[in-house]
């Protein structure tokens, strides 16, 4: 029994050490990306691998642009659509989470989420799209790392440069060229609103942008001027 106890203790210590090392690895990347731009995320890597199964020469559409080269309309539209308390919270919008829970309970299904831009960025940078309590816990840890070390301006800059906007399309610059043939800096209010409402399911909405989504884009356009951005 003592031998089993020692083995169990050693195994737990190894697991703890592996966990700490993994968190340190993530935190080192977070610190590096405070001033250096990520060229690939976990979501990008997964989608590139998927595309290359069908076409070995496939490449992602992605071009990094600095914060000042992204239309203010797009910044406001994304905040209005995805996280309207972005400048107020510290990574978690508890009011938004409560509203999402109430809406889901009312509908009897998961129709709304409460993830902030910071949480979405944490997931995009490091995590798989799978749904589990372990992944949500890791997402929370990474979100705290990002919120502690990055400014809100940096969080929004990285988010807008790495978020998915269609099959193989990542970041504001690629999205602006893909959908409108213009740079991200030139996006107008209506174009920005349409891009913003695509974010929950960009591959689906790339193929089918129906009347309900168009109406949602109009609502976002109508209120995005009130959105505060860094």
Q: Are strands 61-62 and 164-166 parallel, antiparallel or unpaired?
A: unpaired
DSSP string, 65-130: --GGGS-HHHHHHHHHHH-TTTTTSSS--HHHHHHHHHHHHHHTS-------HHHHHHHHHH--S-
Residue with tokens 């797009």: 74
Residue with tokens 């990094």: 64
Contact (Cβ atoms closer than 8 angstroms) between residue 220 and residue 80: yes
- Report the SS3 class of residue 2: helix
- Show the tokens assigned to 197: 């409402």
Check residue 2 and give its pLDDT: 61
Give the span between the Cα atoms of 96 and 13, in whole angstroms: 38
Give the span between the Cα atoms of 125 and 162, in whole angstroms: 8
Q: Are strands 61-62 and 169-170 parallel, antiparallel or unpaired?
A: parallel
- Show the tokens assigned to 230: 């860094």
Q: What is the number of other CB atoms lying within 10 angstroms of the CB of residue 229?
A: 18
Give the span between the Cα atoms of 225 and 77, in whole angstroms: 8
Check residue 229 and give its pLDDT: 97
Check residue 132 and give its pLDDT: 83
Check residue 112 and give its pLDDT: 46
Check residue 105 and give its pLDDT: 52
Check residue 182 and give its pLDDT: 98
Closest CA to 191 of 152, 218, 160, 167: 218
Half-sphere exposure of 131 (CA within 13 A, CB side): 2
Check residue 110 and give its pLDDT: 45
Give the span between the Cα atoms of 179 and 30, in whole angstroms: 31
Query: With a cut of 70, which residues of the chain have pLDDT below it?
Result: 1-6, 9, 96-113
Check residue 161 and give its pLDDT: 98
Q: Dihedrals φ, ψ of 166, to 5°?
A: 150, 175
Residue with tokens 């989608």: 47
């Amino acid at each position: 029994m003592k031998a089993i106890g020692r083995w169990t203790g050693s195994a737990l210590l190894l697991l703890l050490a592996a966990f700490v090392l993994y968190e340190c690895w993530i935190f080192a990347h977070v610190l590096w990306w405070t001033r250096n731009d990520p060229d690939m995320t976990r979501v990008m890597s997964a989608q590139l691998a998927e595309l290359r199964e069908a076409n070995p020469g496939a490449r992602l559409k992605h071009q990094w642009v600095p914060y000042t080269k992204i239309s203010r309309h797009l910044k406001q539209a994304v905040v209005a659509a995805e996280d309207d308390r972005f400048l107020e919270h510290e990574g978690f919008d508890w009011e938004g989470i409560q509203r999402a829970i109430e809406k889901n309970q009312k509908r009897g299904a998961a129709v709304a989420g409460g993830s902030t831009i910071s949480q979405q960025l944490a997931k995009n940078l490091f995590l798989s799209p799978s749904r589990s309590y372990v992944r949500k816990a890791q997402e929370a840890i990474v979100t705290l790392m990002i919120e502690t070390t990055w400014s809100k301006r940096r969080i929004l800059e990285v988010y807008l440069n790495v978020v998915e906007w269609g099959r193989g399309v990542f970041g504001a610059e690629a999205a602006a060229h893909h959908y409108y043939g213009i740079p991200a800096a030139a996006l107008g209010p209506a174009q920005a609103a349409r891009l913003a409402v695509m974010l929950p399911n960009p591959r689906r909405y790339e193929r089918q942008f129906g009347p309900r989504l168009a109406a949602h884009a109009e609502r976002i356009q109508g209120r995005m001027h009130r959105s505060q951005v860094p």
